[in-house]
Amino acid sequence: MSYSLHYFIRKTSTRYLLTQLAGKAGLHADISWVYLMEDIENTDFLRGGELVITTGMSIHSEQALLAFAASLKRKQACGLLLNVGHYITQIPPSLISYCDENSLPLFTMPWEIHIADLMEQYCNEITIQRNIRSQIESAFEKLLFSSPADESALALLARYGCQTGDTFHITASREPIPSATHSLPMNDLYYGIFFPGEFSGKTYSFSYGITTCNDLPSLYTAHRQAYEAYLVSQIKNQPVVSYEDIGLYRAVFSIPDTSSLIALSMPLLRPLLSYDKKHHTDYFSLLRLYLEHGKSVQAAAKAVYTHRNTVNYRIGKIKELLAADFDSLAQCCEYELAFHIYDVLSVTAPEVWENLS
C-alpha cells in the first residue's frame, strides 16, 4: 500500500518533462519522500527511499556527480533527478553507466520546470497515502488482536478494496518480513499481512510461522495460528512453518492453561528427566525416537547410530523405570502428547523443566 517511483514517473513525466536516462531496473522501488539537495555532505540525512533532486549548483563536475550518485546508492535513495540547463548542461556517460550498473534510476528535468511544483505534488500524494496506510493498519490491528471482529474496521477495509471473502497470508516472526504489505508489532513479535498473491515463501535469517486467512472476520484466529506456527518453527529450528503442518501441536495449543499442560505431561516425563539428570543418560530422547519410529528398536538404533542390542537394553530400562510397556495405542499417544507439550513449554515456559530433581 505504498507508491513506487514508477507510479509517479508514469503519472507526471509529461507534465514535468521528465526523461529517464538510466537505472530502469530500480524503478519499482518504493518512494518515501522527495529531497532537494545541493551538498553531497547532506546525504547523511537520508533515511532511504527518497527521490533526490539537485540543480548541480555545487555538484556539477563529472567526478562530483559520480560521487554523489554513489553516496545516494549507499543511503538507499530510490532515484536521482537532475534539474538540467543551468548548472548542469551535459550528463556524463560515466554517470549513466554507473546508474545502470547499480539500478539507480536517473532522470532529467528542464530548468524551466519549477522544482517546487513537482515536490508539492509528490509529497502531497505520499502524505495522503501514509494517512490511508495508517488507517488501514489500525483497522487490521483491531481485527488481528481483538475479537469479535470490529464492524467499523471491516467497513473501512471494504472502502479501500479489502473484501470479506479475500484470502490473506498472516505471518509471525521476531523481525518484520520486508515484503509484507503491512507489519504490525505485538508482544515482541511482528505480524505480517500479505494481500492475495503477494506471499512468495521466501526464507530469511530469522524463522517465521504462517497461516492462511480466508475472510477478514477470521483474522483474530489467524494471528493465533501464525503465532503457534512460529513457536513450532522455534521448536524445530526451521525457517518457515505453516500452521497446516504443525500436526499434534494443534492439540497442545488447544489447551491454553499452562497448569493443565503441566498436569498432562509432568507425571509421565518427570521420571525420565530426573533420571537423565542424575545418571547423565538420555533416555528421554531415546524413548521419543522409539515412539516416533513406530516402536521399532532397529529404526531407533539406526537413528542414534547405536547397536540394536544396546538400544533394546535401554528401552527395557525405560519401560522398567516408567512401569510402562507401550503395548497399547492409548499409552503411546499419551507419551507422544506429553513430548509435544514438553516442546511447547520449553519455548513458552522453560522454567517448568529447569528445576526438576
In order, the DSSP letters of 266-303 are: HHHHHHHHHHHHHHT--HHHHHHHHHHTTT-HHHHHHH
CA pair distance 45, 30, nearest whole angstrom: 18
CA pair distance 9, 16, nearest whole angstrom: 9
CATH number of the structural domain 5-113 = 3.40.1390.20
Contacts of 284 (CB under 8 A, 6+ apart): 269, 272, 273, 276
CA separation, residue 352 to residues 232, 326, 357 (Å): 18, 26, 12
pLDDT above 60 (res 201): yes
CA separation, residue 193 to residues 169, 178, 222, 333 (Å): 6, 11, 10, 36
CA pair distance 332, 342, nearest whole angstrom: 15
The three-state secondary structure class of 152 is: helix
Residue-level pLDDT at 114: 97
Residue-level pLDDT at 1: 52
Q: What is the mean pLDDT of residues 97-113?
A: 98
133-164: pLDDT as tens digits? 999 999 999 999 998 999 999 999 999 888 77
25-75: pLDDT as tens digits? 999 999 999 999 999 999 999 999 999 999 999 998 999 999 999 999 999
Per DSSP (E only), the strands in the chain are: 19-22, 33-36, 50-54, 79-84, 106-110, 168-173, 182-186, 189-194, 208-213, 240-242
Q: What is the mean pLDDT of residues 241-265?
A: 96
The total of other beta-carbon atoms located within 10 Å of residue 147's CB is 14
pLDDT band at 203 (very low <50, low <70, confident <90, very high): confident
259-317: pLDDT as tens digits? 999 999 999 999 999 999 999 999 999 999 999 999 999 999 999 999 999 999 999 99
Whole-model pTM over 0.85? no
CA pair distance 220, 222, nearest whole angstrom: 5
Residue-level pLDDT at 164: 79
Residue-level pLDDT at 181: 87
And the C-alpha cell for 219?
483474522
And the C-alpha cell for 283?
533416555
pLDDT above 80 (res 228): yes
Mean pLDDT for all residues in the chain = 94
CA pair distance 302, 317, nearest whole angstrom: 19
Was domain 254-354 assigned CATH 1.10.10.2840?
yes
Q: How many residues does the chain have?
A: 357
- Break the chain into its structural domains and give their ranges: 5-113, 136-246, 254-354
